[in-house]
């Protein structure tokens, strides 16, 4: 599909909505396929698209000057040698005749408005010379930018430009545009792998392999540079001043996350592209694709496999041993039923207050026996993990309850709802009596939040 085809595919159904005579509130909501008039061979559409592309080239070269239809005819005859002047005149007259479009305007309370600035070509009345209208110039520009990953590297550079201009609100929109291009190519790769008969796409990927990898590499380095700039003092200060003038709440992590999603998508796409190209080079792509297993089964009933292939298939698919229990199918049917009941009288209510006791009986006994003493100890002062191990809180009933003690640091509600976990920036190393070695880059500390209002992290975040 060409760029023009993609643009038409994306907008045709919107035109159908505009031209629909369906009455508002009508209960007849079913839609049938549109019966379009025409030759249905793409002849007139292709001539029109070629003419628009040529007029854009002339528009740049001559600074929007008019051009004669004779020059246009000479250019189009490179693709259609038998093109007549009357055919070109018909296309010019159609594209230069405006059609009225009606739409709702949100700024005026969803009032109805219309425009006739839909002509793509402007034609002089006396000489018949033509040039693009603003709408035509916009249409050609849009068609040339329809999700083409090879040119998305310039979109990545827009992120750096937005950072330099303190236009932070534009960064998520730019990254989403890049993600759309990446996802479009990723889906195209998947379709090629599922349908290896698309030889034209395989050839295109092979020819553009170097360009794809160069584009992905450029985008990756540009976005990595943009993400590193987010942490600089100058950018942070400009972002804070910018946030003060915004109505919505913004955070630098939102921008860093948007850039990070694109970087992850780039890595995944690069890996998929490398795998596909490797499969093409080694000939494995021909063995991929959608397999009609139902058709294969029917064919096996009428045409049995060759003996060597049958023996190899049975050897791989049959059970390894003879004493194998094969369940009946009937009892399993309710388990794999996919339909849902239209109405269910059972209400599912999830209430944490009525939850059963912990499934771990040792943890339950540990909490019942050592819980009051631990709470009394924490009422005196915070208890760090190294102090808890040195004081022997992991010993209970002549057993090692290190895992149960750690649970009280991870989920403080097991011990008391008023507890939190504070994180101290001190590394620790402990060697237990049995030789186990416990190390940590930071030191967690249990404490009661009202009496110890130190920098604490919520236990859910810590978990």
**Using one digit for the tens of pLDDT, what is the confidence trace for 279-303?**
666 665 554 445 567 777 788 888 8
Give the model's pLDDT for residue 457. Answer: 41
The H or E element spanning position 103 is strand 101-105
Q: Provide mean pLDDT across the span 202-209.
A: 70
CA distances from 102 to 9, 18, 257 (A): 21, 8, 40
Q: pLDDT at position 296, please?
A: 76
The domain ranges of the chain are: 3-16+38-143, 149-287, 358-462
Q: What is the pLDDT of residue 173?
A: 87
Per-range mean pLDDT, top range of 220-224, 268-272, 402-406, 448-452: 220-224
pLDDT over 90 percentage in the chain: 18
Q: Is the pLDDT of residue 142 over 50?
A: yes
Mean pLDDT, range 148-154, rounded to an integer: 71
Tell me the pLDDT tens digit for each residue of 61-96: 787 889 999 999 999 999 999 999 999 999 999 999
Calpha distance 312→265 (Å, rounded):
41
Contacts of 291 (CB under 8 A, 6+ apart): none
The mean predicted confidence, pLDDT, of the chain is 78
Mean pLDDT of 440-451: 76
pLDDT at 89: 93
Length of the chain as a residue count: 463
The pTM for the full model equals 0.43
Q: What angle do CA 217, 221, 222 make, to 5 degrees?
A: 115
Contact assessment for residue 92 and residue 69, using Cβ atoms and an 8 Å cutoff: yes
Share of the chain above pLDDT 70, in %: 78
pLDDT at 87: 94
Task: Give the closest residue to 412 by CA, choosing from 383, 381, 380.
Answer: 383
- Per mean pLDDT, which of 115-119, 309-313, 430-434 is the most reliable? 115-119
Model confidence at 160: pLDDT above 50:
yes
Does 356 have pLDDT greater than 80?
A: no
pLDDT of res. 428 = 82
Q: Which residues contact 1 (CB under 8 A, 6 or more apart)?
A: 9
Asked if residue 219 lies in contact with residue 193, where contact means CB atoms within 8 angstroms, the answer is: no
Encode pLDDT of 316-345 as tens digits: 776 655 565 666 667 666 665 554 444 555
For residues 226 and 163, the answer to whether their CB atoms sit within 8 Å is yes
For residue 95, the model assigns a pLDDT of: 93
pLDDT of res. 93: 93
Q: What is the dihedral of CA 303, 306, 307, 311, to 10 degrees?
A: -90
DSSP bridge partners of 424? 443
pLDDT over 60 at 104, yes or no: yes
Please say whether the beta carbons of 404 and 416 come within 8 A.
no
Identify which has the larger pLDDT, 89 or 413.
89
What does the pLDDT average to over 360-387?
81
Report the pLDDT value the prediction gives residue 27, as an integer from 0 to 100. 86
d(CA 420, CA 413): 9
Provide the pLDDT for residue 331: 66
pLDDT computed for residue 107 by the predictor: 59
Q: Are 199 and 127 in contact (CB under 8 A)?
A: no
pLDDT at 463: 35
| Range of lowest pLDDT (34-38, 97-101, 308-312, 459-463) | 459-463
pLDDT score of 386 more than 90: no
Residues 6 or more apart in contact with residue 168 via CB below 8 angstroms: 162, 239, 242, 250, 255
**Residues 272, 264: Cα–Cα separation, whole Å:** 12
* Three-state secondary-structure class, residue 274: helix
pLDDT of residue 281: 63
pLDDT at 66: 92
Provide the 8-state DSSP code for 321. Answer: S
Report the C-alpha gap between 329 and 337 in whole angstroms: 12
- Does residue 446 register a pLDDT over 50? yes
pLDDT band at 352 (very low <50, low <70, confident <90, very high): very low
Query: What's the mean pLDDT in 138-166?
Result: 78
Contact 148, 182 (CB under 8 A): no
């Amino acid at each position: 599909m060409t760029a023009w085809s993609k643009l038409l595919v994306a907008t045709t159904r919107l035109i159908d909505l505009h031209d629909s005579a369906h009455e508002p509130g009508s209960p007849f909501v079913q839609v049938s396929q549109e019966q379009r008039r025409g030759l249905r061979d793409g002849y007139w559409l292709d001539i029109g698209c070629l003419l628009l592309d040529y007029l854009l080239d002339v528009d740049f070269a001559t600074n929007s000057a008019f051009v004669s239809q004779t020059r246009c005819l000479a250019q189009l005859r490179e693709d259609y040698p038998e093109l007549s002047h009357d055919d070109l005149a018909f296309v010019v007259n159609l594209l230069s005749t405006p059609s009225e479009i009606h739409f709702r305007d949100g700024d005026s309370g969803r009032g109805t408005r219309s425009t006739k600035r839909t002509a793509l070509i402007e034609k002089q009345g006396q000489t018949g010379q033509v040039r693009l209208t603003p709408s035509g110039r916009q249409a050609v520009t849009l068609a040339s930018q329809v999700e083409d990953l090879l040119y998305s590297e310039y979109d990545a550079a827009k992120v750096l430009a937005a950072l330099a201009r303190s236009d932070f609100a534009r960064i998520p929109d730019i990254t989403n545009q890049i993600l759309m291009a990446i996802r479009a190519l990723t889906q195209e790769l998947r379709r090629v792998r599922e349908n290896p008969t698309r030889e034209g796409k395989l050839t295109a990927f092979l020819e553009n392999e170097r360009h794809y990898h160069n584009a992905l590499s450029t985008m990756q380095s540009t976005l990595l540079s943009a993400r590193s700039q987010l942490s600089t003092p100058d950018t942070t200060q400009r972002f804070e001043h910018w946030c003060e003038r915004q109505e919505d709440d913004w955070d630098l992590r939102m921008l860093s996350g948007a850039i990070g999603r694109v970087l992850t998508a780039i890595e995944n796409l690069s890996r998929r592209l490398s795998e596909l190209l490797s499969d093409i080079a080694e000939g494995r792509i021909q063995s991929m694709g959608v397999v009609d297993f139902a058709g294969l089964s029917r064919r096996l009933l009428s045409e049995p496999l060759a003996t060597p292939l049958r023996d190899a298939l049975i050897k791989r698919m049959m059970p390894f041993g003879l004493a194998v229990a094969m369940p009946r199918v009937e009892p399993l049917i309710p388990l794999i039923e996919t339909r849902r009941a239209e109405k269910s009288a059972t209400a599912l209510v999830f209430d944490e207050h009525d939850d059963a006791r912990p499934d771990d009986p040792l943890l339950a006994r540990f909490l019942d026996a050592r819980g009051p003493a631990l709470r009394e100890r924490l009422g005196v002062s915070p208890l760090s993990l190294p102090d808890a191990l040195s004081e022997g809180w992991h010993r209970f009933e002549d057993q090692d309850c290190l895992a149960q003690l750690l649970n009280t640091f991870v989920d403080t509600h097991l011990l008391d709802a008023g507890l939190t976990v504070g994180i101290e920036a001190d590394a620790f190393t402990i060697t237990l009596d049995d030789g186990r070695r416990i190390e940590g880059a930071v030191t967690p500390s249990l404490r009661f939040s009202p009496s110890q209002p130190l920098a604490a992290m919520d236990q859910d975040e810590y978990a």
